Every structure is written in structure tokens, then in C-alpha cells.
Amino acid sequence: MKGPVFVPSAFRHGYAEEDFYALLAGRYLKVRSQRGLDDIYELLGRSAAGDYLHVVYRTLPHGALRVFHMSRMTPRQQRRFQRFWR
């Protein structure tokens, strides 16, 4: 599998590639898209700075990931993440 591809919209909220890798290195929750879209997943975890981070990505046919959204979790997402890791 190839590494992730980050599109410009992924950095719109001030997060960087390092935050994505920090999320993967720690505890995270992976869920299918809340909007029911095929091949799109959401990750809930912590950024490099400890922020609660929400990442949305699409799986590509050749196995890579296209990360197109990284932002701070909403309060509802944060509660879901915290309940999962209790």
C-alpha cells in the first residue's frame, strides 16, 4: 500500500501531515462515513498537539488514502471518541 495523498483542503483548518500520523500512532476510532458514502471513512483521534482531531479520507483503487479533511472534533464527536476509549 502506498502512503496517503493529502489534498489542499485537508490543511484548511491549520493541521499538518504530522497531526495525521500522530493520530494513527495513538488511539483512534475508525468509522464509515456518517453520510453513507462508499469508500469514505472518518477517523477520530488526537493530533500531535493533543487536539481532538477529525479526519475524513477516501480509499483509492490502488490502496492509497486520499485525505481531504482534518479539523477539530465537534463536541458530539469528542463524546463518542471518549466513550469508545473508556
Widest pairwise Cα distance in the chain = 35
Domain enclosing residue 65, as ranges: 5-84
Q: Which residues contact 22 (CB under 8 A, 6 or more apart)?
A: 46, 47, 48
Number of domains in the chain: 1
> How far is residue 17's CA from residue 4's CA, in Å, rounded to a whole number?
9
The overall pTM is greater than 0.85: yes
- Digit-by-digit pLDDT tens for the chain (86 residues) are 578 999 999 999 999 999 999 999 999 999 988 777 778 999 999 998 999 999 999 988 888 899 999 999 999 999 999 998 77
